[in-house]
Amino acid sequence: MAVQNKEALETPRLATADIGRDVGLLLAKLHAAGSVLNNLALADFELRERSFSVLTLACSGLEPTQRELADFLSLDPSQVVSLVDGLEKRGLVERGTGRHDRRAKIITATDEGRKVHQQARVVLEEGERTQLAALSEAEAAELKRLLRKALWGVEATAP
């Protein structure tokens, strides 16, 4: 892992081109590298980044609907149905009836889902520290703050 991390910190020759300052490319590359780390870490839990995202939101206490999950995660609703089906089959989440709209299906974590989520979260946080190793703790927090602000236009209070 140390070799990969060292390579990740070296500036590629092509990064000196104008595209190396393009926010879309930078975000895409950061996401791609993070996805690789996340999926490797999540393999021990038989999860992938997308299914973990659904599980995380199911553990949030916000009782998201399948539609909200699709919108928030920028996924097609059919992809969310498939992800929820897989998590439900493993006993990690449950579908329930929406309080305000009985046609809506809310997704909540089971006790087992919360347990798996908590264990996987610890591993993912280590992966995030590896990915952002070139940043101080304060810089990593600032990066997250700025990304939330760029996405939602607000100073989000989430950690």
Say if 40 falls within a structural domain.
no
Residue at token pair 């390579």: 7
Task: Flag whether 64 is in a domain.
Answer: yes
Mean pLDDT of 143-153: 92
Residue 153 lies in a domain: no
For residue 143, being part of any structural domain is answered with: no
pLDDT of residue 9: 60
Segment among 28-37, 92-101, 113-122, 135-144 with least mean pLDDT: 92-101
Count the domains in the chain: 1
Alpha-carbon separation of residue 98 from 32, 101, 146 (angstroms): 34, 5, 33
Q: Is the pLDDT of residue 159 over 70?
A: no
- DSSP code of residue 106: E
Q: What is the pLDDT of residue 120?
A: 97
Residue 156's CB: how many other CB atoms inside 10 A?
13
CA nearest to 75, candidates 109, 108, 51: 51
If pLDDT is split at 50, 70 and 90, which confidence band does 78 have?
very high
Q: Is residue 29, in this structure, part of any structural domain at all?
A: no
Q: Residue 39: which residues within 8 A CB-CB, separation 6 or more?
A: 48, 49
CATH number of the domain within which 54 lies: 1.10.10.10
Considering only 1-15, 70-84, 85-99, which range has the smallest mean pLDDT?
A: 1-15
User: Is residue 149 pLDDT above 80, yes or no?
Assistant: yes
pLDDT score, position 99: 78
Amino acid 3: pLDDT: 36
User: Is the predicted pLDDT of residue 155 greater than 80, yes or no?
Assistant: no
Structural domain containing residue 64: 46-128
Among candidate residues 115, 128, 109, 129, the one with its CA nearest the CA of residue 45: 115
Instruction: Extract the tokens encoding 153.
Output: 């236009």
Domain-located, residue 149? no
Q: Give Cβ neighbours of residue 66 (< 8 Å, ≥ 6 apart).
A: 77, 80, 81, 84, 95, 104, 105, 107
Nearest to 98 by CA among 66, 75, 74, 71: 66
- The reply to whether 83 falls in a domain is yes
| Residue 138 within any structural domain of the chain | no
Tens digits of residue pLDDT in 95-137: 998 777 788 889 999 999 999 999 999 999 999 999 999 999 9
DSSP class of residue 65 equals B
CA distances from 70 to 15, 60, 77, 82, 107 (A): 33, 16, 5, 11, 12
